[in-house]
């Protein structure tokens, strides 16, 4: 479950940073500020897109069962004789 919090944390951080930059942009009237805001906004949007892509492109590669045993099964019935699935294992595009 930690992968979800990591991805959501990156998403949330990007979103908050983008909101902060939009508010700051409304108060800045000089060119350097506008360039800075545009650059930071672009970086935040790219970070957000990477986070979304990472979340949707993950591939399930196995599981850890409730009793601690590992399984490479990814379908229905995985860990059925071991108390069920405790945590799914995923492979991401960057691995």
Q: How far apart are CA 51 and CA 53, in angstroms?
A: 5
Distance of CA 12 to the CA centre of its chain: 9
pLDDT higher than threshold 60 for residue 89:
yes
Q: How far apart are CA 58 and CA 68, in angstroms?
A: 23
- Report the candidate in 94, 76, 90 with the shortest Cα–Cα distance to residue 4: 90
DSSP 62-85: EEEETTS-EE---STTTTTTTTSE
pLDDT, tens digit (0-9, with 9 covering 90-100), for 50-87: 877 877 888 899 999 999 999 999 989 999 999 999 99
Over residues 82-94, mean pLDDT: 89
Q: How far apart are CA 64 and CA 89, in angstroms?
A: 7
Domain ranges in the chain are 2-56, 59-91
In whole numbers, what is the pLDDT of the chain averaged over residues? 78
pLDDT higher than threshold 70 for residue 26:
no
């Amino acid at each position: 479950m930690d992968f979800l919090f990591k991805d959501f944390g990156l998403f949330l951080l990007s979103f908050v940073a983008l909101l902060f930059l939009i508010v700051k942009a409304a108060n800045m009237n000089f060119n350097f500020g506008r360039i800075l805001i545009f650059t930071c906004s672009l970086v935040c949007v790219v970070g957000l897109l990477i986070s979304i892509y990472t979340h949707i492109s993950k591939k399930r590669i196995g599981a850890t069962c409730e009793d601690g045993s590992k399984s490479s099964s990814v379908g229905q019935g995985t860990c059925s004789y071991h108390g069920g699935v405790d945590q799914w294992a995923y492979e991401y595009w960057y691995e």
